[in-house]
Amino acid sequence: MGLPLAFLAPWALAGLVVLPLVWLIVRITPPRPQRIPFPPFRLMRDLAPKDETPARTPPWLIALRLAIAALAVLAMAGPIWNPPPAGVGAGPLLVLMDDGWPTASSWDKRVAYAAGAMEGAARRGAPVAFAAASTPRALALSDAAAALEQLRALKPQAYLPQRAALLDQARAFLGQHKDAHVLWLADGLEANGARDFATALANAAGGLDIVTDDRAPRALAGAQNEAGALSVRVLRMGPGGAQHGVVRAYDRKGLSLADAPFDFGAANETKARIELPVELRNEVSRLDIAGERSAGAVSLIDDRWKRRTVGVVSGASADVSQPLLAPNYYVVKAIAPFADVRQPRIDAVDPIGQLLDDHVNVLVLADLGLAPGETRERLEKYLQDGGVIVRFAGTRLAASDDDLTPVRLRRGGRVLGGALSWETPKKLAPFDKASPFFGLATPDEATVSRQVLAEPEPGLPSRTWAQLADSTPLVTAERRGRGLLVLFHMTADTTWSNLPLSGLFPEMLRRIVDMAGQNVAAPDALSGAGEESRARAQTLAPQKLLDGFGALGSPSATAKPIAADYAGAGDAAHPPGYYGAPDALMAVNALAPDATLTSADFSGLKAQRLALEAAEPIDLRAPLLALAFALFVIDAFASLWLGGALPRLSRRAATSAIVIACGALLLVAPRDAHAQKAPQAAPAQTQKAQPTRRDIEAALTTRLAYVVTGDARADAASKAGLETLSRVLAQRTSLQPGAPVGVDPARDELVFYPLIYWPIVASRPQPPREAALKIAAFMKQGGTVVFDTRDAQSARANGAATPEQRWLRQLLEGVDIPGLEPVPRDHVVTKTFYLIDEFYGRTTTGRTWIEALPPETPGEANRPARAGDGVSPIIIVSNDLAAAWASDANGEPMYPLEPGGARQRELALRGGVNLVMYTLTGNYKADQVHVRDLLQRLGH
Amino acid sequence: MAARFLTEAERRAAPEGRQAALDLARRAPALIVAAKQIAASLVHGVHGRRRAGLGETFWQYRQFMSGEAAQRVDWRRSARDDRLYVREREWEAAHTVWIWMDLSPSMAFVSDLAQQSKVERALVLGLACADLLVRGGERVGLLGLTRARASRDIVEHLAEALLHARGADGDLPPAQPVGPRERCLLISDFLVAPDALAERLAALTGRGATGHLLTVADPIEESFPFSGHVEFLDSDSPQIMRAARAQDWRQAYAQRLATHRAAIAETARAHGLNVAMHRTDRPASEALLALRTRLEEAA
């Protein structure tokens, strides 16, 4: 095939013929000689030049300059690496496209390739015909634009289309157009006779190009919910493509549950194991290969994959020393591979109740007589709710008067037992078609020597799932409510039969367990309602179907319902997806559980094989020009050096020149396309980063906080005031607050502070809206904000609002504020630590507003304190509390009070202590008032 | 091999223009300091004439002869006996040395093998000699530029004179006759025609002067370390000579140089001058020491 190199302007290569001329010119024009001033010049003046021929240009310099010239010529010719495919011949072009799921992962490339081929044909003036494997129709020539339209409308399918119809159409077309050239974009899978298809095409067409993708698609098949893990087979067609990968499990809501890595190694198949607790595993509804966009890389999981929990209870006393004789030993062994077995604790008082509490899906009762009582009722309810009870007969069952059986049993010693009554132990009869065991082979060596007998009654045959060779029922079952009651007319151990030793036994149990939790559409299905109606009832309509890319969507119009026992891969009529009722979906996958991917073998065919990947053309002009430029720079330096100019440059200058040259080369060199795809971290995610150190400290120590207003005086007063208050709190109460902090409500996290003091400064601009929202959230979370309007002296009752009040109103606009009232005298905030009447600050005339208490009930009329349900989220004061609290390090007050006096300062501090205690203890003091009543009551 | 002429500003050591004079003045202190440092390393004493005359050192007492001025009587000696004595001192006469430094363009040349350009070396040596000679009691002047004098600041004086000199950058010494028993010190690269030099030397020494001739040469002028394609530039003319293979010229050049040097030396000796050689890759003090020795010998 040669180099994948083409030239846009090949005639420009003619410029290469001037290279010898360049060589000649360069050769006879040597570099500038060294110029050396020489005072003894006159001594040599008559020194006749013996050899006038100048020094020849060094060969390497000639080579360098020739290379520059050649690169320039090549660049002018417009070289392209991996040129787009040039059409072959002048005849019409037939483009056939596979559009099954294997093509989905490289769909865009395939479409681009086909479009490129069609455009190439259009340039040649050749007509184009186009068809996809999933929608074969009569092929007709059209212009490229129409074909392109068809191509762009095409989407990959979730199944593997059959190519037979397409082949017929192609043959018909090629019969008419002998000179047509066929381009087949194959998915590379041998499935559905790819080689035969290619052979037929090659024979019919004038020329055939088969385009395959080197990156083989990967697929999932055969998901199995095993003990301990959900395993799935990961397949690939052959080496090529990613070697490693991750299988990801999603639940029904599309949330990712777990990842499982896989590595193909040298094989084409590997297993991924998703290890999850069984409850989570049962939630898995979809597995897919991360990063693989195709329906084949999706494995849908339905209820059939759910791993059931089976509780096993035995009537026999547990004999741990002889486990092989325990009645439940074989049952547990048989069930364990496909379900989780739960057994009651040995010392359990109510083993059945305990297992029912565990919500087991299936309850196995091995030789257990059930007396009427609470347990019996619970079992009945369990059955009604959809549980499955599997009972095994035995001496206890035979002896007890137990009617929790599917059929009435003969009782009172009418159990046929022992080898005496039968000459030989009986074998099993082949299973009936209606039986869920149908299809299982009955081994000859499995015999039954004893059994309990069913009372012959009308419904008996329809309830019989298995019978002996003499038609006596061995397994009977009955639906009760939504549940199922199954009785094995033999013991769970080997005393009555050796069936538990045979391979049939686990299979039978498996089928029974598989029925657990299935909401069977027709409850009377087991009651012999007829095969036809059952099949009709069991038809499941498509619910959600996969598209070719592996995304679930609404079903297409062509999708047909599936039978309830449909067990195959999806096809054109039944595309992969979910079928059935929304709460009992049945999954159909793109690949059968035992599917393998075989790559198609196209060797030896009269066809040209092309690679899809190679379709990316690279324009070599820029790199060539860059290289020429770099060589030119080198040439310039070399000329300088030969001319003797370079040594005069200092070493540093030379170094920096080389660095600059290299840097320029790097800049000019074409960037790798991936460099532009820098990983874009989700900024919002990363921003929610570590809590700050300040937050950590605030969370560790209770501390007061004030809002930094930006007004230096107010902030200084707040800081000093809260520091003093903290000191007073530490002295007088058991609270040891940390140093108060200033917060910015718009920026800081507020949740750590029980109380935030916010002095209002009307001259400051309003904080941003987030601040009000955060304050609102803070109040909702149980924090308390004390707004101090500090306008007691300018405010007039019933007068116009002061600037501070207006500022506060504007701030709280839109914030959910409870109804406020002036602090009533019996409010708990006046009693939390000190008994106070008013909250004094720098002034004493201002009123304090607090969340309105619920109306007084008659019962608490003479209580000294009242409180609401919680702490008031907002307290508005106007007395400038912080200024009254504030004192310096020596305890000297910092601000003058009005009217003044040490008593007022003390009262202000007491008010502050009460506020803090109120926010921290809530209505506890209001409860304290009941103490006397409580003590009295206790005394009686 | 890198070599260059000094730029116009650098090379105008004895410049014509004012700007060039300022430029030399800017560099003069450095040269002066260098000259003084080198001179200080050599000590040259005032040497007596071995006869009575004007001087400071006692020479002899002789009897007073009538007719002499009475003030010349040495009364202290005369008081010892009845005769009158006159105290005579040794005659201490200073030589006059004329210095000429070649400041022509061919001197303004430095290669990267040399420590200093030729002109700078010539200046340093000339000024250092002047300092040395003045400290030894001689009188020094610049040939054709200044009077001979013996002041302590002779170096500054001479440097100043060089600054103000005009038309002194010929590559031949001026044809100014030098008095008998005076000496001259000629510092140059002497890349001139021997005949022209002989003519000037004849004029200089016509009245019986002697002197020294110091040839300053750049190392690459002697070794001719060139090879390959080289263009040679002349210092005095815009001529260019192109050598395709410069290494081929080395032999012939060395021969020419030797011949030229021999001719110059011959000319100098014919006029009674010593010839010495100094290369600018050697320290200046070396040349100065040699000069001093020769000057003393001549004395």
Partners of A49 on chain B (C-beta within 8 Å) are: 242-244
Q: Do A37 and B3 touch (CB under 8 A)?
A: yes
Q: How do residues A293-342 score in pLDDT, each as one tens digit?
A: 888 888 888 877 777 788 888 766 555 566 677 778 888 888 887 788 88
Compute the radius of gyration of chain A from its Cα atoms. Answer: 45
CB contact under 8 A, B242 and A33: yes
The answer to ipTM > 0.85 is: no
- Lowest-pLDDT range, A255-264, A441-450, B48-57? B48-57
DSSP single-letter state for residue A669: S
Nearest CB to B106 within list A30, A39, A648: A39
- Which amino acid makes up residue A407? V
| A864: pLDDT strictly greater than 80 | no
Judge contact between A737 and A913, C-beta under 8 A.
Answer: no
Q: Residue A631: what pLDDT?
A: 92
pLDDT value of residue A647: 55
* Closest-approach residue (CA) in chain A for B249: A47
* Chain A hits for B107, Cβ within 8 Å: 39
Residue A271 lies in a domain: yes
- How far lies A11's CA from each of A8, A15, A17, A267, B106, in Å? 9, 8, 12, 50, 60
The answer to whether A361 touches A342, Cβ cutoff 8 Å, is no
**In chain B, what residues touch A55 (CB-CB under 8 Å)?**
228-229, 244-245
User: Which pLDDT does position A413 carry in this prediction?
Assistant: 42
DSSP A333-390: HHHTTTSEEE---TT-SSHHHHHHHTT-SEEEEES----SSHHHHHHHHHHHTT-EEE
Give the H or E element holding residue A772.
helix A769-780
Within 8 A of A34 by CB-CB distance, chain B residues are 1, 226, 228-231
* Helices B118-135 & B154-164 angle (0-180, nearest 10): 140
3-state secondary structure of A611: strand
| Per-residue confidence (pLDDT) for residue A89, from 0 to 100 | 60
Q: Please, which pLDDT band fits residue A674 given cuts at 50, 70 and 90?
A: very low
Indicate the average pLDDT of chain A. 80
User: B256 to chain A: which residues are within 8 Å by CB?
Assistant: 43-44, 47
On whether both A320 and A440 belong to a single domain, the answer is yes
Cα distance from B187 to chain A (closest Cα, Å)? 16
pLDDT tens-digit readout, A369-403: 776 777 888 888 888 888 889 988 877 777 666 77
Is A199 found in the same domain as A334? no
Question: Does an H or E element contain A717, and which?
Answer: helix A712-732
- Is A55 within 8 Å of B260 when comparing Cβ atoms? no
The confidence score (pLDDT) of residue A529 equals 40
Pairwise CB contact (< 8 Å): A55 & B245: yes
H or E element that contains A34: strand A34-37
Residues A802 and A711 in one domain: yes
Q: Do B233 and A45 touch (CB under 8 A)?
A: no
Q: Is A639 an interface residue toward B (CB < 8 Å)?
A: no
Both A268 and A402 in one domain: the answer is no
* pLDDT tens digits along A230-253: 888 888 887 777 788 888 898 888
Residues A273 and A383 both lie in one domain:
no
pLDDT at A385: 82
pLDDT at B10: 57
Which position has the higher pLDDT, B44 or A478? Answer: A478
| CA-wise closest residue to B157 among B201, B126, B190 | B126
Report pLDDT for A677.
43
Residue B100 contacts residue B132 (beta carbons within 8 Å): no
Supply the pLDDT for residue A869. 67
Q: Are residues A200 and A225 in the same domain?
A: no
**Regarding predicted confidence, which is higher, A940 or A405?**
A405
Full 3-state SS string of chain B? CCEEECCHHHHCCCCCCHHHHHHHHHHHHHHHHHHHHHHHCCCCCCCCCCCECCCCCEEEEEECCCCCCHHHECHHHHCCCCCCEEEEEECCCCCEEEEEECCCHHHCEEECCCCCCHHHHHHHHHHHHHHHHHHCCCEEEECCCCCCECCCCHHHHHHHHHHHCCCCCCCCCCCCCCCCCCEEEEEECCCCCHHHHHHHHHHHHHHCCEEEEEEEECHHHHHCCCCCCEEEECCCCCCEEEECCHHHHHHHHHHHHHHHHHHHHHHHHHCCEEEEEEECCCCHHHHHHHHHHHHHHHC
Residue to substitute from B7, B232, B264, interface A, most A β-carbons within 10 A: B232
CATH number of the domain at A719, please. Answer: 3.40.50.12140
Beta strands in A763-901 (DSSP E): 784-788, 820-822, 849-851, 874-877
Query: In this structure, are strands B139-142 and A34-37 parallel, antiparallel, or unpaired?
Result: unpaired
Which chain A residue has the Cα nearest residue B229? A33
Q: Give the range with max mean pLDDT: A56-65, A157-166, A898-907, B31-40.
A: A898-907
Helix (H, G, I), strand (E, B) or coil at A544: strand
Strands of the A269-274 sheet, one edge to the other: A218-226, A229-236, A269-274
Residue B79 has a pLDDT of 92
In this structure, are A706 and A771 located in the same domain? yes
User: Which residues in chain A have Cβ-Cβ distances shorter than 8 Å to B1?
Assistant: 34, 36
According to DSSP, the residues that pair with A142 across neighbouring strands are: A128
CA atoms within 13 Å, Cβ hemisphere of A288? 24
A219 in Cβ contact with A590 (< 8 Å): yes
Count of structural domains, chain A? 5
Please say if the pLDDT value at position A527 is more than 50: no
> For residue A185, what is the enclosing H or E element?
strand A181-185
pLDDT mean over A355-363: 83
**Residues of chain A neighbouring B233 (CB-CB closer than 8 A):** 35-38, 41
Distance CA A309, CA A595 (A): 29
Residue A682 buriedness (CB in 10 A; 0-12 / 13-18 / 19+):
exposed
Specify the DSSP class assigned to residue A727. Answer: H
Domain boundary among A584, A616, A648: A616
Render pLDDT for B105-159 as a digit per residue (tens, 0 to 9): 888 888 888 888 888 888 888 888 888 888 777 888 988 888 888 888 888 888 8
Compute the distance between CA of residue A646 and CA of residue A690 in angstroms, rounded to an integer: 57
Q: What percent of chain A has pLDDT over 70?
A: 85
Q: Is A36 on the interface with B (CB under 8 A)?
A: yes
Whether the pLDDT of residue B44 is over 70: the answer is: no
Closest CA to A484 of A463, A455, A500: A463
Using the 3D structure, point to which of A305, A333, A357 is the last residue of a domain. A305
Confidence of residue A81 (pLDDT cuts 50, 70, 90): confident
Residue where one domain finishes, among candidates A464, A490, A516: A516
Q: Summarize pLDDT for A207-216 with one digit per residue, the tens.
A: 788 888 877 7
**Angle, alpha carbons B29-B35-B40 (nearest 5°):** 125
Using pLDDT thresholds of 50, 70 and 90, give the confidence band for residue A646.
low
Q: Do A33 and B5 touch (CB under 8 A)?
A: no
Surface-to-core class of residue A651, CB atoms within 10 Å of its CB (0-12 exposed, 13-18 middle, 19+ buried): exposed
What's residue A628's pLDDT? 92
| Domain at A198, CATH number | 3.40.50.410
pLDDT band at A916 (very low <50, low <70, confident <90, very high): very high
pLDDT in the model for residue B42: 59
Residue A673's pLDDT is what? Answer: 43
Residue with tokens 């020597």: A449
Residue A436 lies in a domain: yes
Chain B residues touching residue A58 (CB < 8 angstroms): none
Q: What are A851-859's contacts with CB under 8 Å, separation 24+?
A: A851/A818, A851/A819, A851/A820, A851/A821, A852/A818, A852/A819, A852/A820, A852/A821, A853/A821, A853/A824, A853/A827
Q: Mean pLDDT: which of A343-357, A545-559, A623-637, A847-861 is highest?
A: A623-637
Residue A118 lies in a domain: yes
Does A180 lie in the same domain as A254? Answer: no
Q: Is A814 left (phi over 0), alpha (psi -120 to 50) or beta?
A: left
Identity of the residue in A34, A40, A45 whose CB atom sits nearest the CB atom of B230: A34
Assigned domain for A431 exists: yes
Tell me which CATH code domain B3-46+94-298 carries. 3.40.50
> What is residue A730's predicted lDDT score, i.e. its pLDDT?
92
Structural domain contains residue A676: no
Q: What is the C-alpha separation between B11 and A37, in angstroms, rounded? A: 14
* Confidence class for position B17, pLDDT limits 50, 70, 90: very low
Q: Where in chain B is the domain with CATH 3.40.50?
A: 3-46+94-298
Residue A134 scores a pLDDT above 90: no
pLDDT for B15 beyond 60: no
Domain for residue A684, yes or no? Answer: no
**From the list A47, A54, A647, which residue is nearest B252 (CB)?**
A47
Inter-chain CB proximity B241 and A37 less than 8 Å: no
Provide the β-strand partners of residue A272.
A232
How far is B277 from chain A, CA to nearest CA, in Å?
16
Residue A266 shares a structural domain with residue A335: no
Tell me: do A319 and A458 sit in the same domain: yes
- Say whether pLDDT at A121 is over 60: yes
Residues A905 and A785 in one domain: yes
Closest CA to A743 of A701, A687, A805, A785: A785
* Cβ-Cβ contacts under 8 Å for A721 (sequence gap 6 or more): A757, A881, A882, A883, A884, A885, A886
Tell me the C-alpha distance between A506 and A500, whole Å. Answer: 8
A681 falls within a domain: no
The per-residue pLDDT of chain B, averaged, comes to: 79
A42 inside domain:
no
- Are the Cβ atoms of A37 and B253 closer than 8 angstroms? no
**A75 and A178: one domain?**
no
User: For B219-257, what is each residue's pLDDT tens digit?
Assistant: 988 888 887 778 888 877 778 887 777 787 888 889 989
Residue A573 has pLDDT above 60, yes or no: yes
Alpha-carbon distance A379 to A430, whole Å? 32
Q: Among A10-19, A627-636, A688-697, B268-277, which is the least confidently predicted range?
A: A688-697
At residue A83, the pLDDT reads: 67
Give the pLDDT score at B171. 80
Range of the domain at A175: 93-215+599-616
**Highest mean pLDDT: which of A4-8, A118-122, A719-723?**
A719-723
